[in-house]
Amino acid sequence: MPSQKPDRTEISAARQAGPSRASVILLAVVMAMLAILVASFYPSMPHLKPAPLVAYPPGCVAASHVFVPTNVTRFPDPALRSLSASARNRALLKINMQECTCGCAQSIVACQLSNLHCATSRKLLEQAITEEKK
Protein backbone atom coordinates (compact mmCIF):
# COMPACT_ATOMS: atom_id res chain seq x y z
CA MET A 1 0.00 0.00 0.00
CA PRO A 2 1.45 3.13 -0.99
CA SER A 3 1.07 5.89 1.52
CA GLN A 4 -0.48 8.96 0.23
CA LYS A 5 1.16 12.09 1.48
CA PRO A 6 -0.77 15.31 1.12
CA ASP A 7 1.03 17.73 -1.09
CA ARG A 8 1.93 21.24 -0.01
CA THR A 9 -1.03 22.92 -1.66
CA GLU A 10 -3.46 20.82 0.38
CA ILE A 11 -1.63 21.67 3.64
CA SER A 12 -1.58 25.41 2.91
CA ALA A 13 -5.27 25.34 1.93
CA ALA A 14 -6.13 23.68 5.25
CA ARG A 15 -4.23 26.33 7.21
CA GLN A 16 -5.94 29.16 5.38
CA ALA A 17 -9.42 27.84 6.17
CA GLY A 18 -9.65 29.92 9.41
CA PRO A 19 -7.97 30.97 12.61
CA SER A 20 -6.92 28.37 15.08
CA ARG A 21 -9.03 27.66 18.13
CA ALA A 22 -6.30 28.89 20.51
CA SER A 23 -6.08 32.29 18.79
CA VAL A 24 -9.87 32.77 19.00
CA ILE A 25 -9.84 31.97 22.73
CA LEU A 26 -6.88 34.31 23.30
CA LEU A 27 -8.66 37.10 21.44
CA ALA A 28 -11.84 36.59 23.51
CA VAL A 29 -9.86 36.70 26.78
CA VAL A 30 -8.01 39.87 25.76
CA MET A 31 -11.27 41.58 24.74
CA ALA A 32 -12.91 40.62 28.06
CA MET A 33 -9.95 42.01 30.01
CA LEU A 34 -10.09 45.26 28.03
CA ALA A 35 -13.82 45.56 28.73
CA ILE A 36 -13.21 45.09 32.45
CA LEU A 37 -10.45 47.70 32.38
CA VAL A 38 -12.64 50.25 30.58
CA ALA A 39 -15.55 49.59 32.96
CA SER A 40 -13.31 50.16 35.99
CA PHE A 41 -12.20 53.58 34.68
CA TYR A 42 -15.75 54.71 33.89
CA PRO A 43 -17.78 54.76 37.14
CA SER A 44 -21.54 54.86 36.98
CA MET A 45 -23.06 58.32 36.93
CA PRO A 46 -25.13 59.45 39.94
CA HIS A 47 -28.83 59.81 39.36
CA LEU A 48 -29.42 63.50 40.11
CA LYS A 49 -32.81 65.14 39.97
CA PRO A 50 -33.30 68.90 39.59
CA ALA A 51 -34.74 70.83 42.48
CA PRO A 52 -38.45 71.55 42.23
CA LEU A 53 -39.32 75.00 40.98
CA VAL A 54 -41.45 77.34 43.05
CA ALA A 55 -44.51 78.55 41.16
CA TYR A 56 -44.92 82.31 40.94
CA PRO A 57 -48.03 83.68 42.61
CA PRO A 58 -50.65 85.13 40.26
CA GLY A 59 -49.97 88.72 39.30
CA CYS A 60 -46.28 88.63 40.29
CA VAL A 61 -44.20 87.31 37.42
CA ALA A 62 -40.90 89.05 38.16
CA ALA A 63 -40.45 88.18 41.84
CA SER A 64 -38.91 84.87 42.78
CA HIS A 65 -40.22 84.86 46.39
CA VAL A 66 -37.15 83.03 47.59
CA PHE A 67 -35.17 84.90 50.23
CA VAL A 68 -31.64 85.76 49.18
CA PRO A 69 -29.46 87.69 51.67
CA THR A 70 -28.03 90.98 50.41
CA ASN A 71 -24.67 92.66 50.78
CA VAL A 72 -25.45 96.32 51.42
CA THR A 73 -22.47 98.01 53.06
CA ARG A 74 -23.70 101.61 53.11
CA PHE A 75 -27.16 102.59 54.24
CA PRO A 76 -28.21 106.24 54.60
CA ASP A 77 -29.67 106.15 58.09
CA PRO A 78 -28.55 108.67 60.74
CA ALA A 79 -29.15 106.19 63.57
CA LEU A 80 -26.88 103.65 61.87
CA ARG A 81 -24.13 106.24 61.40
CA SER A 82 -24.20 107.04 65.12
CA LEU A 83 -23.02 103.50 65.98
CA SER A 84 -19.39 102.54 66.40
CA ALA A 85 -17.70 100.76 63.48
CA SER A 86 -17.99 97.27 64.99
CA ALA A 87 -21.61 97.82 66.09
CA ARG A 88 -22.47 99.23 62.64
CA ASN A 89 -20.98 96.14 60.98
CA ARG A 90 -22.97 93.81 63.25
CA ALA A 91 -26.17 95.76 62.56
CA LEU A 92 -25.51 95.71 58.80
CA LEU A 93 -24.90 91.97 58.93
CA LYS A 94 -28.15 91.43 60.78
CA ILE A 95 -30.30 93.58 58.49
CA ASN A 96 -28.69 92.00 55.41
CA MET A 97 -29.22 88.43 56.60
CA GLN A 98 -32.74 88.64 58.04
CA GLU A 99 -35.82 88.49 55.83
CA CYS A 100 -38.36 91.27 56.09
CA THR A 101 -41.67 89.97 57.44
CA CYS A 102 -43.84 92.12 55.13
CA GLY A 103 -43.86 89.33 52.52
CA CYS A 104 -41.53 90.86 49.93
CA ALA A 105 -38.93 88.05 50.32
CA GLN A 106 -36.11 90.60 50.60
CA SER A 107 -33.71 91.38 53.38
CA ILE A 108 -34.67 94.15 55.80
CA VAL A 109 -32.27 96.64 54.24
CA ALA A 110 -33.21 95.73 50.64
CA CYS A 111 -36.89 96.17 51.45
CA GLN A 112 -36.24 99.55 53.04
CA LEU A 113 -34.15 100.69 50.07
CA SER A 114 -36.69 99.55 47.49
CA ASN A 115 -39.78 100.67 49.41
CA LEU A 116 -39.19 103.65 51.68
CA HIS A 117 -42.79 103.54 52.93
CA CYS A 118 -42.65 99.97 54.29
CA ALA A 119 -43.43 100.26 57.99
CA THR A 120 -42.42 96.65 58.71
CA SER A 121 -38.85 97.00 57.43
CA ARG A 122 -38.52 100.38 59.17
CA LYS A 123 -39.58 98.83 62.50
CA LEU A 124 -37.19 95.86 62.08
CA LEU A 125 -34.38 98.22 61.10
CA GLU A 126 -34.92 100.34 64.20
CA GLN A 127 -35.00 97.20 66.39
CA ALA A 128 -31.66 96.02 64.98
CA ILE A 129 -30.05 99.42 65.57
CA THR A 130 -31.49 99.62 69.10
CA GLU A 131 -30.11 96.16 69.93
CA GLU A 132 -26.65 97.22 68.80
CA LYS A 133 -26.75 100.43 70.87
CA LYS A 134 -27.10 98.38 74.06
Per-residue pLDDT tens over the stretch 70-94: 888 888 888 888 888 899 999 999 9
Sign of the C-alpha dihedral, residues 104, 76, 78, 82?
positive
Closest to 66 (Cα-Cα) out of 77, 56, 79: 56
Per-residue pLDDT tens over the stretch 4-59: 665 666 655 555 667 788 889 999 999 999 988 887 776 666 666 666 566 555 55
Is the pLDDT higher at 67 or at 96?
A: 96
Q: Give the span between the Cα atoms of 115 and 88, in whole angstroms.
A: 22
Given a cut of 70, whether residue 63 has pLDDT beyond it is no
